[in-house]
Amino acid sequence: MANIDLKVNGKSHTVDVDSDCPVLYVLRDNLELNNPRFGCGLAQCGACTVILDGDAVRSCVLPVSSVAGKEVTTLDGLGGGEKLHPVQQAFIDEQVFQCGYCLNGWVMSAKALLDKNPHPTDVDMEKAFRGLICRCGSHVGIYRAVRRAAGMKESV
């Protein structure tokens, strides 16, 4: 048990949790932030993705102690809370997703990818999305949205 300082979406929090507790449960249960969701708890699906210091990571296997002092961003914090991030807008414009339960992983991973690589090829996307699942099969729309966000018309 420990008091751990967290910075999430620009706000500081101190939580009293086990230091081995995965970040996912701290965000959901202590901070009531919903978008990182439980899908597998095994780093196999991406439903729990958050952005940590610029990287899309799986919060379900990340002990809370390892993020102390780092900057955590969740989906609803992407646009700073007030606005939509352009990547979110691209997904809305393309009308992507069926149930949307997976979308946290895809939108966050797309955002992290585009920050580092504004014009990703299909191979770049495949690499960035390797760890993600969409059970409904919304992939075609997802790729369209990422290309739209990157200002690309065609797959390259």
Partner 1 sequence: MASVEKILSRRTFLRNTGGLVIGFGLADVSVLPRMIAQAVTPSGKVVTGNPVPDALTSWLHIEPSGIIRIFTGKTEIGMGVETALMQIVGEELDVALDQVVFVMGDTSKTPDQGGVGGSSSLAMGADPLRNAAAAARSLLLDMASQRLGVPVDQLEVSGGVVHVKGAPSQHVSYGELTKDVPLQGSLVVTGAGSAMSIKGRGKPKAVSSYKLVGQPVPRIDLPLKIAGKWEYVVDVRVPGMLHGRVIRPASVGANLLSIDDAPARSIRGYVKTVVINNFVGVVAENEWAAIKAMRAIKVNWSEPQQLFPEQAKIYDYMRQATPKASMEFLKVGNFEAGMQSATKKVEATYEFPFQSHGTMGPGCAVADVQPDGVTTVWCGTQKPHAMQIGIADLLKVARDKVRVIWTEDSGSYGRAGFEDAAGDAILLSRAVGKPVRVQWMRADMTRWGSKGPAVMVDMTAGLDQQGKVTAFRFTSRAFSGVETNFLPVMAGNFLGSQLAGIPNTNVRDEYAAWGHETAAYPFPNVIANGHVVAALYPNASPLRTTHLRDPEGPAATYATESFIDEMAAAAGMDPIAFRLSNLEDARTKAVIRAAAEKFGWDPRTSPKKKVANPEVVKGRGIAIGDRGGTRVATIVEVEVARKTGAVRVSRIVCAHDCGLIVNPSSLKGTIEANLIQSTSRSLMEEVMFDRNNVTSVDWLSYPVLRAANLPDKVEVVLLNHPEFPSTGAGEPSSRPMVAAICNAIFDATGARVRQGPFTPVRVKAAMASS
Residues near ligand FES, by CB under 6 A: 38-41, 43-48, 58, 60, 97-102, 134-136, 138
Which chain residues interact with partner 1 by CB under 8 A? 1, 17-18, 21-22, 25, 28-29, 32, 34-35, 37-42, 44-45, 47, 74-79, 81-84, 86, 88-89, 91-92, 95-104, 107, 125-126, 129-130, 132-141, 143, 155
Q: Quick one: 52 or 60, whose CB is closer to ligand FES?
A: 60
124-to-25, 101, 154, 156 alpha-carbon distances in Å = 30, 24, 14, 10
If DSSP codes are grouped into helix, strand and coil, which group holds residue 67?
helix
Q: How far is the CB of 71 from partner 1 (least distance, A)?
A: 17
Q: Quick one: 8 or 45, whose CB is closer to partner 1?
A: 45
Q: How far is the CB of 143 from partner 1 (least distance, A)?
A: 7
Q: How far is the CB of 82 from ligand FES (least distance, A)?
A: 26
Considering only CA atoms, which of 56, 149, 150 is closest in space to residue 108? 56
Distance between CA atoms of 71 and 36, rounded to whole angstroms? 15
Q: In the structure encoding, which two tokens stand for residue 106, read together?
A: 């895809």
Contact 144, 99 (CB under 8 A): no
